[in-house]
Chain A
Amino acid sequence: RKEVEQDPGPFNVPEGATVAFNCTYSNSASQSFFWYRQDCRKEPKLLMSVYSSGNEDGRFTAQLNRASQYISLLIRDSKLSDSATYLCVVNDRTGNKLVFGAGTILRVKS
């Protein structure tokens, strides 16, 4: 089983829609969780950290479910500019390194 797994998508949604992605992780002892965004042929950039109590940043909400070992990202009122690949990132079994999921592609269409 991969340490971090994501549905590759693509998720095709109209502008204004709400879309959610999940990411499962295998290490029950993981403590650090992040969502990164990567535009085509560009470097990844941090979208948001994921905290135990869940957190929100504008239209973006991140949640952590430790019991089921997954994190989620909810995007409300999707914009064309939200089209990108969303990468789930979790610290590995040793706790010393970060492991990236393969990413979920989001396409927002007008």
Chain B
Amino acid sequence: NAGVTQTPKFQVLKTGQSMTLQCAQDMNHNSMYWYRQDPGMGLRLIYYSASEGTTDKGEVPNGYNVSRLNKREFSLRLESAAPSQTSVYFCASSEAGGGRFEKLFFGSGTQLSVL
């Protein structure tokens, strides 16, 4: 089973460049999430999508946009990358909904450096 697949695994950008992180899950989950993880801090939620066609801001949405393309895919876009966006990004999915939380399945992460 592929589970949650995110690409790329590594990326180096220059300040001001744009890029899209791709994420796809094959578990038919309704909910999908994008997190970032920085040293000494917990995973922080950037955006999430509780169901196909809906997206909501998380704790740190500034500088990012998302698209829930269909039930399987949830992409994260950096329109104009900044050094503060250097981080490890994780996509996740779950069956959560209606205030109920189930196990989160994570992708393997994207290490992004912005110079």
Contacts and interface: CB of A to CB of B under 8 A. Distances in A.
**A and B from one assembly?**
yes
Interface of A: 4, 8, 31-32, 34, 36, 41-46, 87, 91, 95-103
A8 B40 contact: yes
A99 B35 CA distance: 11
A41 B45 CA distance: 18
Contact of A102 (B42, B90, B104, B109): B42
A32, A46, A97: residue with the most chain B Cβ atoms closer than 10 Å: A97
B73 to A, nearest CB: 18
Contact of A43 (B59, B99, B106): B106
Contacts of A31: 99
Interface of B: 35, 40-45, 48, 50, 58-59, 90, 99-101, 103-104, 106-109
A102 B109 CA distance: 17
Given A8-B40, A44-B43, A97-B48, A91 B101 contact: yes
Given A8-B40, A100-B43, A43 B107 contact: yes
Nearest to A97: B45
Given A41-B109, A99-B42, 8 more contacts: A43-B90, A44-B104, A45-B106, A46-B104, A87-B43, A91-B101, A96-B50, A97-B45
A95 B99 contact: yes
B108 to A, nearest CB: 5
21 contacts: A4-B42, A8-B40, A31-B99, A34-B101, A36-B104, A43-B106, A45-B106, A46-B103, A46-B104, A95-B99, A96-B50, A96-B99, A97-B45, A97-B48, A97-B58, A97-B59, A99-B45, A100-B35, A100-B42, A100-B44, A102-B41
